[in-house]
Structure 1
Amino acid sequence: MECLTEIIPGLEEAVTKDLENDPDVSEYVVIRTCNRLEAYAAADDNHAVRLRMEETVRKAIPYEHRDFWYILQDDECIKHLFTVVCGIDSLIVGEDQIQHQVKDSFAKAQKEGHVGRVLYSLFNNAIVVGKKVRTETELNKGAVSVGYASIELAEKKIGSLEGKNIAIIGAGDMAGLIAKNLAGKGPRTVFVSNRTFERARELAKELGGTAVGMDRLTEMIAGSDLVLVATSAHHDVVSREMVENAMASRPDRPLLLIDVSVPTNVAKDAGSVPNVTLSTMASLDAIAAENVARRKKEISAAEKIIQQEMAKIAEDRKTEAADAVIRGIGMMSERIRQTEAEKAKHALSNGADPDETVDALTRAIIKQLSADIIKNLRKAALNGEDDVVDAASKLFSPSGKE
């Protein structure tokens, strides 16, 4: 898929500039991937910011692409970010790459000074949810790309690739992509062969392997546990005879041939040679499709975790105002305590009676702590603010009473 910002040149710049210059936007994070552009903002006036952003986007996006953008607020926005980070909203369900992309975008916004308390909390929560979903569900398990499906298939057929010998026939993009995945599994040796020897040498260098001429294919196959064939030829590059000759020197050692060429480049009857298994792109597609289906079944479990985390955020929001008051009470109480403690220390150093000093200290603290409460409670009663009086009654009821 083409990048959204390539389809619509200047969109990312326009959105970022709008957020940067909007007087009501206090924080923002912009996320760009190959198929999405998302902006998250904390604002003093959501409605005003929304109207201005809609105008910016309307100017930047051609009419035929306007169905692909939307604006979400509050809980819908939070849930969407959680869904994105978990990989539920991805082209490949459960992909891990999006989590790294969100982390990188968040880190970039922090570095540039665009993140405050609101988005710091939101994105940290999102990253935690993403980790939890990947730990507690199977949403990101199983290969869904040809490269990883090749590894999954190979490990099913011949066990761990660590210490095995791998041969790559072909040096194009597909061969390189899959070869890098296979080489990352710790094989003992990686051989690379290609019609153009120089390209074989380049890929072999990237993989830390050895380039082999096409005239030595039989020898290379004979020394390998796994052979990946990914060429663009229109004929069989690996014949049955070649495989038979290779196996003659190691008849009891299994050989896996994976042919991802289109059309296939390994003779169809090569897989009937004893101790040889031949798999094609169809086999890999089947593995990927099976894993995609399995991942989709895990979406409901992932969404349940998201709902649980959303409920926790809602609870935190309810106590947020109270927490601010509690912090204020704590700070005020500490100031009073420190002031009166210093007075008591000074009195004691001047020979004051300890009992009288302690009595004066406690009385002074109690008086200062209760002074504003008593004053405001009387004022509320005079103004007929019964709800304030009732609340105070619940908060400061004598011990033993509800």
Structure 2
Amino acid sequence: MTTHVLLVGLNHTTASICLREKLAINGASLHNALNQLRRVNGREGATLHEGIILSTCNRLEVYTVCGDVESGYHAVVEFLCMNRQLAAGEFVAALYRKRDAEAVHHLMRVACGLDSMVMGEPQILGQVTMAYQAALAGRSCGAVLSALFRHAIRAGKRAHAETAISRHAVTVPSVAATLAEQVIGGLHGRVVLVMGAGEMGELAVRTLISRGATSIIVANRTYDRALALARELGGEAMTFERQLEALIRADIVITATDAPHVILTRDKVAQAMAHRPERPLVIVDIAVPRDTEPIVAEVPGVRLFDIDDLQSVANGNLEARQREIPRVEAIAVEEAQAFLCWFEALEVVPTISDLRRWADEVKAVELDKALRRLRHLDERERKVVRVLAHRLVNKFLHPPTVQLKRRALEGQGHYYASAIRDLFGLGLRDCEIADQEEV
């Protein structure tokens, strides 16, 4: 049976933040999702043999290995419906599906930063790596997806090392910081509140500090993590329970948590603004799912932005990054082709192994017959006969083995493997092989 690599997903170009946050699979939920994906069967019982889930603020992509692409697609849709408790009609229009070479090239471009909202941003490579590591830990990926993601990670590393695309790039957190600075009109004397002490929040606040922000509040679900980051940044630590106090003091709020639910409500923000009616508040929410209720934007004096509002700012330095695209694309193509050569050859490996096994079994039977008839040979002469038989088998097997691998790379491996199996009777039982007589 032919094996396919199948990708089913959506991203910032096909789905709004409203839909992406409904489908986001983050944090602790990822392990359970991988287990669920592995168990899902498609139509006619087709199984998803392997699975890796890449979920970021800008995309959700499910990479699988399956025998039938159509059944595999429906299996992934079924999985998303069950896992996210949605009806298929709520999201299928935003999905794209890619198979085999198209899916492979897509992942290489993603890992290189060519498919990101902020082109060339380096965070996506770490996210691809973490998705692969999570699948390894959850035992949901096998040889095919392991090889695919290793090539993708290698492509991303090469893109950053061999080209200048990441040197010209901005990141989602830095874009968020730039937007906040532009809206507030300068950072001198401003109080910055970052909600979420993870990588994205830290990068955003570091950008603001580098541009002049000096008063930093770090709020996090766990106080120890907030305190560690606050000390490192020269700021103040709080838990979410002191959110109102922090909002009253803040001029800029960056939210970047992994929370599956809203942490900034309209009522809480309105309550804070009642204590500071003359001072505007800028909130930039870069979390998916969003940390902030959209109706917070209705509170007087509040300017609310989410991750989909960052595109115009993200176009900074775009011309410099675009000059690097051909070199990065070449790396993506090279790594994709390296994987595809390996993947195509997989289809004929069982036939090559069976052909070798058949030939060795025939050799053993015929050698035994011959040596029983040649009892007068001494051990040295018997060894010569054995070596002769071994070399003859290798010589006879070499041309069909080479041709099978070559045809596999041309996409014709299935047909030639089927012909070899028919011509050599590779489905015969051992007793039938032993009964074959030389004409």
CA RMSD of aligned residues (A): 5.6
Change (3 A) 1:3 1:304: farther
Change (3 A) 1:18 1:98: same
Q: Does 1:51 align with 2:74?
A: yes
C-alpha separation in 2, matches of 1:203 and 1:16: 34
C-alpha separation in 1, matches of 2:86 and 2:162: 41
Q: How does 1:3-402 map to 2 (within 5 A)?
A: 4=19, 6-7=21-22, 17=36, 19-22=38-41, 23-24=45-46, 25-54=48-77, 60=86, 65-145=91-171, 169-173=189-193, 180=206, 192=214, 205-207=230-232, 209=234, 232=251, 289-321=315-347, 323-326=349-352, 353=378, 355-363=380-388, 365=390
TM-score normalized by structure 1?
Answer: 0.51
**Equivalent residue letter for 1:35:** N
**Corresponding residue number in structure 2 for 1:267:** none
Question: Cα distance, 1:15 vs. partner?
Answer: 9.3
Q: Confirm or deny: 8 A CA contact 1:87 1:98 kept in the other structure.
A: yes
Deviates more, 1:96-105 or 1:135-144: 135-144
**Equivalent residue letter for 2:112:** C
Question: Cα distance, 1:39 vs. partner?
Answer: 0.8
Q: For 1:115, what is the secondary structure of its paired residue?
A: coil
Instruction: String of CA shifts for 1:278-328, please: whole Å, max 9, x gaps.
Output: xxxxxxx99975423322332233222222333334433454455555555
**Equivalent residue letter for 1:7:** K
Deviates more, 1:358-367 or 1:134-143: 358-367
C-alpha separation in 1, matches of 2:173 and 2:146: 36
Q: Confirm or deny: 8 A CA contact 1:4 1:36 kept in the other structure.
A: no
**Equivalent residue letter for 2:251:** S
Q: Confirm or deny: 8 A CA contact 1:28 1:114 kept in the other structure.
A: yes
Q: Confirm or deny: 8 A CA contact 1:42 1:118 kept in the other structure.
A: yes
Q: Confirm or deny: 8 A CA contact 1:3 1:36 kept in the other structure.
A: no
Q: Confirm or deny: 8 A CA contact 2:123 2:171 kept in the other structure.
A: no
C-alpha separation in 2, matches of 1:310 and 1:87: 15
C-alpha separation in 1, matches of 2:76 and 2:382: 64
C-alpha separation in 2, matches of 1:177 and 1:370: 61
User: Computing the radius of gyration over CA atoms, which structure comes out larger, 1 or 2?
Assistant: 1
Change (3 A) 1:203 1:143: farther
TM-score normalized by structure 2?
Answer: 0.48
**Equivalent residue letter for 1:21:** V
Instruction: String of CA shifts for 1:247-301, please: whole Å, max 9, x gaps.
Output: xxxxxxxxxxxxxx999xxxxxxxxxxxxxxxxxxxxx99975423322332233
Q: Confirm or deny: 8 A CA contact 1:137 1:302 kept in the other structure.
A: yes
Question: Cα distance, 1:75 vs. partner?
Answer: 1.7
Change (3 A) 1:80 1:336: same
**Equivalent residue letter for 1:132:** R
Change (3 A) 1:287 1:193: same
Q: For 1:72, what is the secondary structure of its paired residue?
A: strand
Question: Cα distance, 1:81 vs. partner?
Answer: 1.4
Q: Confirm or deny: 8 A CA contact 1:142 1:291 kept in the other structure.
A: yes
Question: Cα distance, 1:42 vs. partner?
Answer: 0.7
Q: Confirm or deny: 8 A CA contact 1:87 1:94 kept in the other structure.
A: yes
C-alpha separation in 2, matches of 1:299 and 1:117: 30
C-alpha separation in 1, matches of 2:384 and 2:216: 93
Question: Cα distance, 1:124 vs. partner?
Answer: 1.4
Q: Confirm or deny: 8 A CA contact 1:336 1:368 kept in the other structure.
A: no
C-alpha separation in 2, matches of 1:370 and 1:145: 57
C-alpha separation in 2, matches of 1:210 and 1:55: 46
Moved over 6 A (4+): 9-16, 201-204, 285-288, 329-341, 367-373
Q: Confirm or deny: 8 A CA contact 1:192 1:203 kept in the other structure.
A: no
Deviates more, 1:310-319 or 1:92-101: 310-319
Question: Cα distance, 1:28 vs. partner?
Answer: 0.9
